[in-house]
């Protein structure tokens, strides 16, 4: 079974193809971004449950980049020790550890000004962001780079850049939210520049596996779609990105119709079009479905979100379904 076969990206060898999808836990003390007891139990539980890779939630690269004040942060060196502790516990349970580097842009729900490529609010109820200056853009690129260094110090095996769901990087990519007239706006190449600079900056300090989560459809006639992301993925691949994690939506207030595997076609299109590894995510809840996606060559890794919240032992359930026997955690050996 492909789902339970090892998978190697650069020097990271996963014991299987199951990834815990990044999910905000809103569990930090407001504003400090540090790991709490909750994170120390929550993430390693999924490693004990058998995940190949556990990716920690969107972690803010600057204090203004939080989706909420309770978000994890990676903007300060005093946040490294807590992260290191989570990584160690995940490793102890046999999984690899990743972290998602994020900036919420105009969707940040933090005190003070919010930032975006252009002064366009998400919807009529949202605050209008300030358009970032060229200096502020450079500062934000530097913040992603510094965060990658901190992630490396904390011992993470893998990084994921959050370029999806209508947050800052996605806001630069899409013409719906980026109306800049400088070299960060206008053409697709210009709108990509911010992500390109972040990728280069991270790659200059990080040799390990690098994933990028994208929203492969804006669900809007003037927005971006899967074919645009084939081109974006080609650029990312050329800059050393290893895998595209294909999500969708979030830029404008439109809810996509969702059903099992609704985002798998995006992973498939990008994988074939850009010849790059992809992750499939979204309402994948059974072992058979996960195996089908892999066998049909539609994606390389399976990201599990809410089902992992419902069942930390989801990999064991999927293995049972597929008739695979997984070795238990060594602590359970005598009971098996």
| Binding stretches for ligand FNR (CB under 6 A) | 21-24, 57-58, 100, 162, 164-165, 213, 247, 281-284, 304-307
Nearer to ligand FNR, 21 or 278 (CB): 21
What residues contact 299, with CB distance under 8 A and at least 6 apart?
Answer: 246, 264, 267, 268, 271, 278, 279, 280, 293
Q: Which is closer to ligand FNR, CB of 165 or CB of 237? A: 165
Our CB check for ligand FNR shows the closer of 109 and 283 to be 283
Residues 175, 212: Cα–Cα separation, whole Å? 19
Residue 87 or 281: which CB sits closer to ligand FNR? 281
Residue 274 near residue 255, CB atoms below 8 Å: no
Distance of alpha carbon 32 from alpha carbon 118, whole angstroms: 28
Q: What is the smallest separation between the CB atom of 308 and ligand FNR, expressed in angstroms?
A: 7
> Please, what is the minimum distance in Å from the beta carbon of residue 262 to ligand FNR?
9
For the bound state, the minimum distance from the C-beta of residue 176 to ligand FNR, rounded and expressed in Å, comes to 19
Closest separation in Å from C-beta 136 to ligand FNR: 23
Q: What letter does residue 133 receive in the DSSP assignment?
A: P
The nearest distance, CB 21 to ligand FNR, in angstroms, is: 3
Collapsed DSSP state (helix, strand, coil) of residue 52:
coil
Closer residue to ligand FNR in complex, CB, 10/306: 306
DSSP character at residue 118: S
Q: Which is nearer to ligand FNR, 56 or 276 (CB)?
A: 56
Spatial contact of 14 and 6, defined as CB atoms under 8 Å apart: yes
| Residue 132 CB, nearest approach to ligand FNR (Å) | 22
Does residue 25 contact residue 39 with C-beta atoms inside 8 Å? yes
127-156 b/e (C-beta count within 10 Å ≥ 16 → b): eebebbeeeebeebbebbbbbbebbeebbb
């Amino acid at each position: 079974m492909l789902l339970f076969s090892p998978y190697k990206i650069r020097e990271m060898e996963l014991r299987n193809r199951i990834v815990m999808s990044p999910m905000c836990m809103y569990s930090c003390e407001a504003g400090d971004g540090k790991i709490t007891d909750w994170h120390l139990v929550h993430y390693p539980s999924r490693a004990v449950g058998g995940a190949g890779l556990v990716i920690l939630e969107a972690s803010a690269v600057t204090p203004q980049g939080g989706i909420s004040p309770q978000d994890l942060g990676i903007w300060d060196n005093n946040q490294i020790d807590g992260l290191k502790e989570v990584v160690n516990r995940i490793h102890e349970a046999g999984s690899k550890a990743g972290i998602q580097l994020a900036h919420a842009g105009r969707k940040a729900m933090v005190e003070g000004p919010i930032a975006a490529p252009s002064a366009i609010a998400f919807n009529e109820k949202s605050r209008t962001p300030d358009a970032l200056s060229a200096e502020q853009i450079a500062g934000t690129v530097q913040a992603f780079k510094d965060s990658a260094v901190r992630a490396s110090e904390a011992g993470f095996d893998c990084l994921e850049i959050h370029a999806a769901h209508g947050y800052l990087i996605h806001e630069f990519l899409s013409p719906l939210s980026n109306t800049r007239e400088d070299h960060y706006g206008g053409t697709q190449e210009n709108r990509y520049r911010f992500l390109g600079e972040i990728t280069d900056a991270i790659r200059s300090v990080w040799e390990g596996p690098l994933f990028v989560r994208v929203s492969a459809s804006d669900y809007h006639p003037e927005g971006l779609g899967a074919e645009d992301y084939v081109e974006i993925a080609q650029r990312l691949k050329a800059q050393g990105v290893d895998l595209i994690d294909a999500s969708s939506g979030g830029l404008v207030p439109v809810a996509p119709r969702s059903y099992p595997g609704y985002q798998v076609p995006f992973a498939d299109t990008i994988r074939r079009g850009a010849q790059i590894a992809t992750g499939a995510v979204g309402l994948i809840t059974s072992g058979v479905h996960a195996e089908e996606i892999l066998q049909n060559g539609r994606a390389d890794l399976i990201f599990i979100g809410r089902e992992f919240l419902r069942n930390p032992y989801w990999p064991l359930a999927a293995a049972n379904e597929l008739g695979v026997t997984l070795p238990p955690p060594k602590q359970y050996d005598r009971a098996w």
